[in-house]
Amino acid sequence: MRVALAADAVEHILLVCLDNLGDLVFTASLAPPLKAHFKAARITLWCKEYAADVAALVPAVDEIVACDPFWDRAPGRAKGSFVRFARTVRSLRAQRHDLAVITSPQWRAAAAVRFTGATVRIAQERRKNRRFLTHMLPPADSLLPVLRDHAHLLDALGVPHPTLRYELDAQRLAAERARITRAVGEPFTALHAFASDRRRCVRLSEWITLARELEQRQERVVWVGSSTELAEVRSQSTAPASWRYADEFTNGTLRETAALLACARLFVGHDSGPLHVANALGAPVVGIFAPGQPARTFPQGVAPSRVLHSPTPQGIDVRAMLAEIDALCARAGAES
């Protein structure tokens, strides 16, 4: 399917990702080629409120509209307000978008975009979203990488593009990165031992052992996570005083967490938003999928990556993690 849309006739584009952080990072890959093709267009990115700090790092986006959908919860938040959501839709309607590109799978997201009045509304087929779209692509293929599916949206619009990679603009974090680099004092490895579903997390004892092994290699370790998660690491009787924690250097916002990740020499963590943010900001990453969907949501950013996959968290131990770290470092050394 091709959409008959003259590039010089598009003045306003609405890019819609009302999902969580990792999904937003994947969606970031679409903005630069859209901007390059529709040169006169202004791009508005509509995202969840908690993800706005990262949305502000997406290249080629002119405006961020952050509003939580009333049907879904962002991590650590309640569902969004229907009244506020309706006001956001009304505000977007006033902008008269020529094109809306929707990556959110929920039919309610497509319905909301329908009410913005966007002239062309394109997405892949999902449950019940057909009636709200002007152009619908075949359903996403769960065996394809996410960015291969996103590329189909660009192809349908006649937008030229290279092989898609997601990227965030680390230069916009220059001040925060400089402060964090001074505070940490030396290159470091960021460890993120957590995920929203703790049932797919490798045992914390394995992460503790990994941190100790890295320190024996003269690596500085910085633990990344929420205040509750970091408190869990600190409470371990074996946690040495030399370990550092993200909340020592950041104020807890996603913007400062992103700046910390951009400073990391290496990131090791579960399949979650921080993994993709780090890879989009240029940090080499080792992704832990236990089990996850490694064929679909593996790191697809601008920096090197490795994936460690097991059907269960119990199938991953410190030796397996170290082997992937060594393989990634050897690859990075060979490419430098």
* SS3 at position 288: strand
CA 123 from centroid of its chain's CA atoms? 19
In a domain, 215, yes or no: yes
In a domain, 52, yes or no: yes
Per-residue pLDDT tens over the stretch 247-304: 999 999 999 999 999 999 999 999 999 999 999 999 999 999 999 999 999 999 999 9
Q: Which two tokens stand for residue 172?
A: 């916009």
Instruction: Decide if 80 contacts 103 (C-beta within 8 A).
Output: no
Residues 127 and 174 in one domain: no
> If pLDDT is split at 50, 70 and 90, which confidence band does 26 have?
very high
Assigned domain for 163 exists: no
Q: Are residues 133 and 280 in the same domain?
A: no
pTM of the model: 0.96
Q: Is residue 208 part of a domain?
A: yes
Task: Indicate whether 108 and 204 sit together in one domain.
Answer: no
Last-in-domain residue among 134, 156, 178 = 156
DSSP string of 231-252, one letter each residue: HHHHT-TT--TT-EEGGGT--S
pLDDT tens, residue by residue, 309-334: 999 999 999 999 999 999 999 887 66
* 253 is a domain residue: yes
pLDDT of residue 312: 96
Q: Which of 94, 124, 156 is the last residue of a domain?
A: 156
Domain co-membership, 257 together with 310: yes
Q: Considering the domain boundaries, does residue 220 fall inside one?
A: yes
The pLDDT tens digits for 271-283 are 999 999 999 999 9
Q: 191 is in which domain, residue-wise?
A: 170-335
Per-residue pLDDT averaged across 53-79, rounded? 94
For residue 197, pLDDT beyond 60: yes
pLDDT for residue 142: 87
222 contacts 191 by C-beta, under 8 angstroms: yes
289 bridge partner residues: 309
DSSP string, 150-219: HHHHHHHTT----S--B---GGGGHHHHHHHHHHH-S-EEEEE---SSGGGSPPHHHHHHHHHHHHHTT-
179 and 141 within one domain:
no
Kindly state whether residues 237 and 276 are assigned to the same domain: yes
- Residue 165 placed within a domain: no
Q: Return the half-sphere exposure (C-beta side, CA atoms, 13 A cut-off) of residue 25.
A: 28
For residues 209 and 292, membership in a common domain is answered with: yes
Assign residue 240 a region (left: φ > 0; alpha: ψ between -120 and 50; beta: otherwise). Answer: beta
> Would you place residue 243 in the very low, low, confident or very high pLDDT band (cuts 50, 70, 90)?
very high
Give me the sheet containing 42-47, strands edge to edge: 63-66, 42-47, 12-17, 99-102, 120-124, 135-137
Residue 74 pLDDT > 80, yes or no? yes
56 contacts 50 by C-beta, under 8 angstroms: no
Which three-class secondary structure string do you get for 62-127?
A: CEEEECCCCCCECCCCCECCHHHHHHHHHHHHHCCCCEEEECCCCHHHHHHHHHHCCCEEEEECCC
How buried is 332 (Cβ within 10 angstroms: 0-12 exposed, 13-18 middle, 19+ buried)? middle
pLDDT higher than threshold 80 for residue 38 = yes
* Judgement on whether residues 204 and 319 belong to the same structural domain of the protein: yes
Q: Which of 121, 156, 191 is the last residue of a domain?
A: 156
- Give the number of residues written for the chain: 336
Percent of the chain with pLDDT over 90: 88
Torsion of CA 276, 282, 284, 285, to 10 degrees: -10
Assign 336 a pLDDT band (cuts: 50, 70, 90): low
- 126-146: average pLDDT: 94
Provide the sign of the torsion angle of the four alpha carbons 44, 155, 295, 287, taken in this order: negative
H-run or E-run covering 285:
strand 285-289
Residues 230 and 323 in one domain: yes
CATH number of the domain to which 137 belongs: 3.40.50.2000
**Closest Cα partner for 261 from 9, 50, 34, 54?**
54
Question: Do 37 and 141 have their domain in common?
Answer: yes
- 186 lies in the same domain as 328: yes
Confidence of residue 76 (pLDDT cuts 50, 70, 90): confident
- pLDDT value for 334: 62
Q: How far, in Å, CA of 168 to CA of 26, rounded?
A: 10
Flag whether 164 is in a domain.
no
Confidence of residue 17 (pLDDT cuts 50, 70, 90): very high
**pLDDT(241) > 60:** yes
Residues 190 and 145 in one domain: no
Number of domains present in the structure of the chain: 2
- Residue 328 contacts by C-beta under 8 Å, 6 or more apart in sequence? 266, 284, 286, 304, 305, 306
Residue 114 phi, psi dihedral angles, 5° rounding: -55, -40
- Reduced to 3 states (helix: H, G, I; strand: E, B; else coil), residue 336 is coil
